[in-house]
Chains A and B, each alone.
Chain A
């Protein structure tokens, strides 16, 4: 057995060898710092002016200073991302000449201005145990259809700061966005139903018009991003209802070159949360079937047997609704017993959920437990150490083994309408999005799903 203790002792006690700066480093640092400080100052100053004019509180200035909205999210020309913030002059500049669509990247989360006071979060994403972004609606430009706002955190939701956001509105049929995903500190996407991409950490967002229909779900892993596009008829915020056909598309994370995934298309419904990726492969729950395939290249295929022995919610004639979540031990499936009216992000069902586990990528299923969770099942997540967390329209439940279930404690109380999303970032940290966006808050757990506390945006 190798003894690593001596090298540790020696290494820990070694002196730090200085690494001198390269020529010009201080000047570059100073210029960058000046640009960031100027951007913050301009945002704050313009925000104050809007407060006077609109008698509003803490507006999101980036939104209010943008030009009038396009008629559709895809009408914005690619590349109209504005000048670099380095172009902002130190001299006072008329607000009308500023283009604040460019903002601080995710890597600078926490150092920007406050998010708008009326921020209503609808989706959250984390790229690590500290850094993440939330997308929602807020600001003072809602009348112009530019409500979408993004905020970032560098301490897992303890504080939030405003970031640049896609120039679009709340979900409205085939336009607007409601969801956000970041693969890392550089590549991210806003979607549901329109699609925008950023490759500079959220400093700028570009509309992507190459996918047909509405983008219902999107996930990224490794250096790939996959998105589900569907033909749907739902209006307003119910953009994911009335879907009659779908197809999976894939792109290299930084490319915006989307290609259809062979084998992953069909007719029928598909919902937000239907696409789940792992580093080794992905799953798509659509039209009561589970499709599976590789993340990088290759065809996807239907893995559910269709023999009548599958869980009820995967039968072709079923009206039950389902959510899936991959884990180290396989793929979990939660079947809701009865349908309810379709809502964005919801799976329907009025209680009586059954949890199944497949150890062979969805080919066969074993019932694991019947959580005594109340309300409609909306979202399922599994932490890295195997804790299963279930969100419903009344609260959150967790299980250390997928068999015994406990109701999570929600401070002060579970919000009316429960939760539309739950996700576990680490074995301890997780986040849930309440159904009532007007609460202006997310819920965070730091103890593996047992306790959930509100994270108000802004603080």
Chain B
């Protein structure tokens, strides 16, 4: 009981090998370190495999779980980041500044409506094309394009106001 059947196991391992590196890399863009990225990616796969038999679109489920876990991580670390930034406010930013490593942008992305946030994260952070995002989210491509446009506009406007 509870064991994946051989065929399922092979399929699961195949999916793992195909998707884990990209998923973990995607998560690493959103969090601070490789360790956290591995933790989140592994947890996402754990949840996926524990519900393996009842899923129509495992990849979509995988990225949705990871998105939620990343969001939880952001929330957990935001207080510490604010405190650190307060003390290092006079230190110039490094040239390779990444918006997602700035808590204000994280807060902004988190505050996006869920429909915009999911599409935004998958496309701009995950590197999925519009067609793939549409398939993952079960939405028309035109809707995804519009969602991406709105999310991008909100992010740019907010960053522009803040700078």
Which residues of A are at the interface with B, using a C-beta cutoff of 8 A?
Answer: 1-5, 7-8, 11-12, 15-22, 25-26, 28-30, 32-38, 40-42, 90-92, 107-108, 111, 128-131, 154, 184-185, 222, 279
The answer, yes or no, to whether B129 is at the interface (CB within 8 Å) is no
Q: Which of A4, A5, A90 contacts B2 (CB 8 A)?
A: A90
Which B residues, 107 to 163, have Cβ-Cβ distances below 8 Å to chain A? 110, 124-127, 152, 155-156, 159-160, 162-163
Residue of B nearest to A155 (CB): B68
B 24-62 binary contact with A (CB < 8 Å = 1; else 0): 111111000010011001110111111110000000000
Least distance between B111 CB and chain A CB atoms (Å): 9
Q: Which of B1, B41, B126 contacts A90 (CB 8 A)?
A: B1
A147 to B100, CA, bound (A): 45
Least distance between B124 CB and chain A CB atoms (Å): 4
A7: which B residues are within 8 A, CB to CB? 97-99
Asked if A34 and B4 sit within 8 Å, CB to CB, the answer is: yes
B47: which A residues are within 8 A, CB to CB? 33, 36, 108, 111
Residue of A nearest to B128 (CB): A16
Q: Which of A1, A8, A19, A128 contacts B99 (CB 8 A)?
A: A8
Q: Which of B21, B29, B68 contacts A154 (CB 8 A)?
A: B68
Q: Which of B22, B98, B110 contacts A16 (CB 8 A)?
A: B22
A17: which B residues are within 8 A, CB to CB? 25, 28
What are 16 A-B pairs at a CB distance below 8 A? A2-B163, A4-B159, A11-B100, A12-B124, A16-B22, A16-B26, A18-B22, A19-B41, A21-B42, A25-B20, A29-B49, A30-B49, A37-B49, A90-B1, A108-B47, A184-B76
Asked if B68 and A130 sit within 8 Å, CB to CB, the answer is: yes
B20: which A residues are within 8 A, CB to CB? 20-21, 25-26
Least distance between B67 CB and chain A CB atoms (Å): 11
A129: which B residues are within 8 A, CB to CB? 75, 110
Asked if B76 and A37 sit within 8 Å, CB to CB, the answer is: no
A345 to B41, CA, bound (A): 42
Which B residues, 54 to 85, have Cβ-Cβ distances below 8 Å to chain A? 68, 71-72, 75-76, 79
Assuming A11-B98, A19-B24, is B46 touching A107 (CB within 8 A)?
A: no
Assuming A20-B21, A34-B3, is B163 touching A4 (CB within 8 A)?
A: yes
A20 to B22, CA, bound (A): 8
Least distance between A404 CB and chain B CB atoms (Å): 26
Asked if B22 and A26 sit within 8 Å, CB to CB, the answer is: no
Asked if A4 and B13 sit within 8 Å, CB to CB, the answer is: no
Q: Which of A5, A19, A35, A131 contacts B25 (CB 8 A)?
A: A19
Asked if A33 and B46 sit within 8 Å, CB to CB, the answer is: yes
A111 to B12, CA, bound (A): 19
Residue of A nearest to B152 (CB): A12
Asked if B49 and A22 sit within 8 Å, CB to CB, the answer is: no
Asked if B29 and A279 sit within 8 Å, CB to CB, the answer is: no
B25: which A residues are within 8 A, CB to CB? 16-19
Asked if A21 and B38 sit within 8 Å, CB to CB, the answer is: yes
Q: Given contacts A20-B20, A26-B16, A29-B42, could you give 14 more A-B pairs where the C-beta distance is less than 8 Å?
A: A2-B163, A19-B28, A19-B37, A26-B17, A26-B20, A33-B4, A34-B4, A34-B50, A37-B49, A107-B72, A111-B47, A128-B71, A154-B68, A184-B76
A292 to B130, CA, bound (A): 54
A108 to B48, CA, bound (A): 12
A185: which B residues are within 8 A, CB to CB? 72, 76
Residue of B nearest to A428 (CB): B111
A154 to B71, CA, bound (A): 12
Assuming A25-B20, A29-B45, A34-B3, is B99 touching A4 (CB within 8 A)?
A: yes
Residue of B nearest to A42 (CB): B1
A33 to B50, CA, bound (A): 4
Residue of A nearest to B13 (CB): A26
Least distance between B63 CB and chain A CB atoms (Å): 12
Assuming A19-B21, A30-B4, A111-B47, is B38 touching A25 (CB within 8 A)?
A: yes
A259 to B51, CA, bound (A): 44
Asked if B1 and A8 sit within 8 Å, CB to CB, the answer is: no
Least distance between B90 CB and chain A CB atoms (Å): 15
Asked if A30 and B9 sit within 8 Å, CB to CB, the answer is: yes
Residue of B nearest to A2 (CB): B163
Q: Which of A15, A18, A111 contacts B51 (CB 8 A)?
A: A111
A35 to B46, CA, bound (A): 10
Least distance between A131 CB and chain B CB atoms (Å): 7
Least distance between A104 CB and chain B CB atoms (Å): 10
B152: which A residues are within 8 A, CB to CB? 12
A5: which B residues are within 8 A, CB to CB? 156, 159-160
Residue of B nearest to A128 (CB): B75
Least distance between A46 CB and chain B CB atoms (Å): 12
Query: Shortest 10 CB-CB distances between A and B: which pairs?
Result: A38-B2, A33-B49, A18-B21, A19-B24, A33-B50, A36-B50, A19-B25, A16-B127, A12-B124, A32-B46
A279 to B82, CA, bound (A): 13
A131 to B158, CA, bound (A): 27
A90 to B5, CA, bound (A): 13
Assuming A18-B25, A22-B38, is B2 touching A3 (CB within 8 A)?
A: no
A21 to B17, CA, bound (A): 8
Least distance between A291 CB and chain B CB atoms (Å): 25
B4: which A residues are within 8 A, CB to CB? 30, 33-34
A38 to B2, CA, bound (A): 5
Assuming A5-B159, A107-B72, A185-B72, is B46 touching A19 (CB within 8 A)?
A: no
B34: which A residues are within 8 A, CB to CB? 19
Least distance between B121 CB and chain A CB atoms (Å): 11
A15 to B125, CA, bound (A): 9
B98: which A residues are within 8 A, CB to CB? 7, 11
Residue of B nearest to A130 (CB): B68
Least distance between A448 CB and chain B CB atoms (Å): 14
